[in-house]
């Protein structure tokens, strides 16, 4: 998805994991995914660079659909659809 498309998405849940480094954002995402329904969009905020690689790998393994990310000033927004 392009940045524009990602910006237009309406996330069901925003997980702010900016206060933790690896593997914090992944743990936060795993915990939060239980709070939304299948087909809903989750957005993860992370200031940890490695998360941009880790979240897609996690989605790939667990079955969620990874949509992409875009960078803000000091962090990134990552998007996925729950399986």
Interhelix angle 51-62/24-33, rounded to 10 degrees, is 40
Cite the DSSP H helix spans in the chain: 3-7, 24-33, 51-62
Nearest approach, Cβ of 47 to another protein (angstroms)? 8
Helix (H, G, I), strand (E, B) or coil at 65: strand
Determine if 79 is a binding residue for another protein (CB under 8 A).
no
Cis peptide before 23 (omega within 30 of 0): yes
# residues near another protein by CB under 8 A: 16
Closest CA to 72 of 52, 46, 42, 43: 46
Residues 14-53 interacting with another protein (rule: CB under 8 A): 19-24, 26-27, 29-30, 47
Q: Which is nearer to another protein, 19 or 39 (CB)?
A: 19
Q: Is 22 a catalytic residue?
A: yes
Nearest approach, Cβ of 3 to another protein (angstroms)? 26
- Please give the residue ranges that form the binding site for another protein (CB under 8 A): 19-24, 26-27, 29-30, 47, 54, 57-58, 61-62
């Amino acid at each position: 998805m392009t940045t524009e498309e990602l910006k237009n998405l309406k996330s069901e849940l925003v997980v702010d994991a900016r206060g933790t480094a690896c593997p914090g954002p992944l743990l936060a995402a795993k915990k939060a995914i239980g709070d939304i329904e299948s087909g809903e969009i989750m957005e993860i905020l992370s200031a940890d660079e490695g998360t941009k690689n880790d979240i897609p790998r996690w989605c790939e393994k667990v079955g969620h659909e990874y949509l992409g990310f875009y960078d803000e000033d000091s962090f990134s927004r990552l998007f996925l659809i729950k399986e």
